[in-house]
Amino acid sequence: MEQTLKGIEDTLQRILKNHEMRFEDLKEALQSLEESFSLLSQKWNLEILYALFLRSCIGFCGFKKILGINSRTLSDKLKSLKKYGYVERMVEHGPPLRVEYSLTTKGRNTVLLALPLLYYSSS
């Protein structure tokens, strides 16, 4: 775990050095990050992303079975995650109509970045 944290710290130091980021730029970036953390800290959002990470593609009913979440809440959460670019919604026409969800690159990267945070916070 220490090695992971050291790697993250080194990467951040290189970014700050190479891009000569001003305090105002850093403040703006942190506000954007704060919005993401706010969305991801809401109940069910990380669970939805992790389910997609493990299964790669899940239909609406699949989420209900896996997570035990009610339809209205699931629908709201998926719309929000889609709006902010974390998940992609795919509709398969034809009887029966099927809607499946998968992670975008942003969603996949978010899951990969959140794993060390979850591990560190639980230890």
CATH classification of the domain holding 58: 1.10.10.10
pLDDT digits (tens, 9 = 90+) for 28-74: 777 777 878 888 888 999 999 999 999 989 999 999 999 999 999 99
Q: Residue 107 belongs to what domain range?
A: 2-122
Q: How many domains does the chain have?
A: 1
Whole-prediction pTM value?
Answer: 0.74
3-state per-residue secondary structure call for the chain: CHHHHHHHHHHHHHHHHHHCCCHHHHHHHHHHHHHHHHHHCCCCHHHHHHHHHHHCCEEHHHHHHHHCCCHHHHHHHHHHHHHCCCEEEEEECCCCCEEEEEECHHHHHHHHHHHHHHHHHHC
Q: Which two tokens stand for residue 39?
A: 């969305």
Q: What is the mean pLDDT of residues 82-109?
A: 92
Of 41-45, 79-83, 92-96, 111-115, the least confident: 111-115
Q: How far apart are CA 67 and CA 108, in angstroms?
A: 19
Other Cβ atoms closer than 10 A to 46: 16
Mean pLDDT, rounded, of the chain: 85
Rounded to an integer, the average pLDDT of 1-18 is 73
Look at residue 120 in the predicted model and tell me its pLDDT.
Answer: 67
